[in-house]
Chain A
């Protein structure tokens, strides 16, 4: 039988605020344990949560970016469960009236098609603390610095049909929250993680199969692997006549498999109810308009603009807008160089090659956008050829200075002096009568031989366009 995979993702993204969602404690990462956990975060008696305005604005920003309805009235609810890293015995979350309603986002697939994925809702909640199970002689250590950190939980519709689509969607949301500057999206630090709801059904069926929930996946690769494994597991069960059990499972990256969570780790019934400590949040049209006015350019709009203004192909524009950092880098290079096409080629070619080789992100590039732009300027004004430019780039990457310094120091300046080039062309022609004959007999390819000879003689410094032109004239004329 042919099976169809149905996936929905719940993405938790940490909002990039200075202070917590309901208290004035700091949210900075990496502080000493419990130094950023105040009385509110600790759930001490007599405290009251007060909602952070920036959190609301960030949620609105996200809502606008996915064309969603922003709730005029939004309510916080208590999600009740007991765990030592949750001192109050409940997590403040949203249940019936989330701040962001139904929205959508378009993902691009590898075959070039795009697909619209529905986003059911996005709601605000507080994060829990961290439990450390080792090294405390049979006890568990609790660090509550993370308790009360604002999270936006983004829930997709069950619209995803393959692990690859799930990854494309997750990447798209990741790029979006970074574009919007509402989250740093740092997956190592847990600022961006997801749960996946996975089920399979016979192809053509309209009913959903029984789903399992895969918890706490914190990388794009793991989301793909976890879902792949889970789909296979479910199909195997169904094909051997069994039934999938609805349960929560954990992905083990070392073994590459999912396993059921122990029943103890599973909360059975959260008994949500509106939090009496917090009043309903009113979001006025004025607030929404204020946020809208401050919205940065979104990835899709940027891609369209790159195509229209810079004459880039859809593919190139897609790559260069994959992250805001890369797009900014490219635009800075293009601005300095004054040639967007050339800038795009170098950013996607040479620069990306070096980054990949050293496993670096764009913001760790050892050549700044200004310096790369400066290098390209020297190609455009014929100071150096594209080939020599690669040598200069390598030197810049190694920290030898900017393009002009390296060109000067290494004597890489292109030979554009026509009389000097002419003399060389004459010499090469005189020394190779056989090849001259071949060219004149119509063997165009021999031209490359002559160019090569001159490049060799000048260590690549001759202006290729000029050499070509001179050779043609001389070979034909003589």
Chain B
């Protein structure tokens, strides 16, 4: 399976990655190689094998429904670029 230029650009956009247009053919080749590897894996006979959701043979531990976190807003907001009225400020996201 091979990816074209547009697909690479779309993947980059979805991941919000800025890529050098000159490097796109190279990315396309590398990503296509990865997909080829996946195709190869896909060819293995998995009849009767249970799908694996996690490599560890363990089960999720659950926590009790108890509030354990205290308000640390001051500390968190000390490392934020901009805050006001207790809110984190970000560039406007709607027109």
Contact = CB atoms under 8 A, between A and B. Distances in A.
A3 interface: no
Interface residues of A, number: 55
A51 B86 contact: no
Interface string A31-54: 011111111001010000011111
Contacts of A39: 72, 76
Contacts of A25: 67, 69
Q: Which one of B59, B63, B66, B72 has the highest number of Cβ atoms from chain A below 10 Å of its Cβ?
A: B63
A34 B67 contact: no
Given A34-B76, A35-B71, A19 B90 contact: no
B92 A38 contact: no
Contacts, number: 129
B65 A276 contact: no
**Chain B contact patch, size range:** 35 or more
Contact of B60 (A17, A142, A276, A280): A280
A326 interface: no
A140 B93 contact: yes
Nearest to B14: A269
Given A17-B65, A42-B76, A132 B87 contact: yes
Given A34-B76, A38-B69, A276-B54, A281 B60 contact: yes
Given A144-B88, A280-B59, A24 B94 contact: no
A279 interface: yes
A349 to B, nearest CB: 41
B61 A141 contact: no
Nearest to B50: A73
A208 interface: no
Contacts of A83: 93
A136 B84 contact: yes
Contacts of B87: 33-34, 132, 136, 141-143
A279 to B, nearest CB: 4
A96 to B, nearest CB: 8
B88 A142 contact: yes
A279 B14 contact: no
B54 A140 contact: no
Contact of B93 (A34, A51, A131, A143): A131
Interface of A: 17-19, 23-26, 32-39, 42, 44, 50-56, 73, 75, 80, 82-84, 97, 131-133, 136, 138-144, 262, 264-265, 268-269, 271, 274, 276, 278-282
Given A50-B62, A53-B64, A142-B88, 4 more contacts: A18-B67, A36-B69, A50-B63, A75-B53
